Amino acid sequence: MTSHGRRAAPPPPEPLGASTVDSHTHLDACGCVSAADVRAALDRAAAVGVTRVVTVADDLPSARWVVRAAHWDERVVAAVALHPTRTAALTADDHAEIERLAGDPRVVAVGETGLDYYWDHSPPEAQQAAFRWHIDLAKRLGKPLMIHDRDAHDDVLRMLREEGPPDTVVFHCFSGDAAMARECAYAGYVLSFAGPVTFRNARELQEAAVVVPEDQLLVETDAPFLTPHPHRGRANEPYCLPWTVRGLADLRGVSEERLADCAGRNAERVFRLGELPPAVEAPAPGADRVRSA
């Protein structure tokens, strides 16, 4: 993943009527480097009702950074894994470091892992081997598995059945149709919706969003990517989540307060946010260094 570069950020939305959690964002790719950057991003989010975020790794430098960030601010927790597009040449040392980082008490999920058949950065065989390893890691650590699934629905579901899923499975930025949503819900999986559910051409995704049980629903930005309507194409950040919350609430025929509250409570339960140790107040030495690309 890359930074959003020079794309202009949208103005802040109207604050939500109830607080909620951004269940998947990439603060480093949003441009955050230091503890002060993280605090500023979370202050912007809190001003519109987004009170906590899960910042997610996609490669090893990012994994090291998100773990540090989770110890800089109480409102930040982390998820650690290697993105499927980063799995072409994994080593035993890579596995060992991911396992060590994922074991940190403020890492709340193993993710994002899964399969991505859209990009041609890693062969399917390597992606599938890494996905199986991450499934096993989540089960060994007793943490939720956070899945990236792009153009790979059948294989993702098949491999979960073959390996046996962890107790909690989260489909980040769910992209399937209503039939897949029902299948996932029946299996007990949690489905997280991002900006695309607000896009005007996303009819099948919108139909899927309506059938998900309320207690299996999360909301996310996937910032700096997938900025919701009406600011599609501009830079995304956790403070932009209210537009997705409102779009999803309209689709489901509920108030924004109800949608925000239930998604927030679901995130608290799924990621066990009430059981976390406190963040370390002062960053560790060297923690403000820019992570490598």
% of residues, the chain, pLDDT over 90: 90
pLDDT of residue 6: 53
User: How many angstroms separate the most distant Cα atoms in the chain?
Assistant: 49
- Phi-psi label, residue 159: left if phi above 0, alpha if psi -120 to 50, beta otherwise: alpha
| % of the chain beyond a pLDDT of 70 | 94
Q: How far is the C-alpha of 144 from the C-alpha of 158, rounded, in Å? A: 18
In the structure encoding, which two tokens stand for residue 74, read together? 């109480």
Judge whether residue 134 has pLDDT over 60: yes
Bridge partners, 54 (sequence order): 77
Which pTM value belongs to this model? 0.93
Residue 288: what pLDDT? 44
pLDDT of residue 232: 94
Residue 47 exposed, middle or buried by CB count within 10 Å (0-12, 13-18, 19+):
exposed
What pLDDT does 206 receive?
Answer: 98
What band does 8 get if pLDDT is binned at 50, 70 and 90?
Answer: confident
Kindly tell me the burial class for residue 181, based on how many C-beta atoms sit within 10 Å of its own C-beta (0-12, 13-18, 19 or more): buried
| pLDDT one-digit tens code per residue, 217-256 | 999 999 999 999 999 999 999 999 999 999 999 999 999 9
pLDDT digits (tens, 9 = 90+) for 94-121: 999 999 999 999 999 999 999 999 988 8
Mean pLDDT rounded to a whole number for the chain: 93
Tens of pLDDT, residues 150-189: 999 999 999 999 999 999 999 999 999 999 999 999 999 9
Beta strand 20-25 pairing with 107-116: unpaired
Burial (0-12, 13-18, 19+ Cβ within 10 Å), 119: exposed
For every residue of 127-183, DSSP letters joined together read HHHHHHHHHHHHHHHT--EEEEEES-HHHHHHHHHHH---S-EEETT----HHHHHH
Retrieve residue 38's tokens. 């993280």
pLDDT tens readout for residues 18-63: 999 999 999 999 999 999 999 999 999 999 999 999 999 989 999 9
Terminal Cα-to-Cα distance of the chain (whole angstroms): 9
Question: Per the structure block, which two tokens stand in for 263?
Answer: 């998604």
Which comes out higher in pLDDT, residue 289 or 196? 196
Query: If 0-12 CB within 10 Å is exposed, 13-18 middle and 19+ buried, where does residue 19 land?
Result: middle
Q: Per-residue pLDDT for 281 more than 90?
A: no
Q: How many CB atoms lie within 10 A of CB 132?
A: 14
Q: Which two tokens stand for residue 180?
A: 């897949």
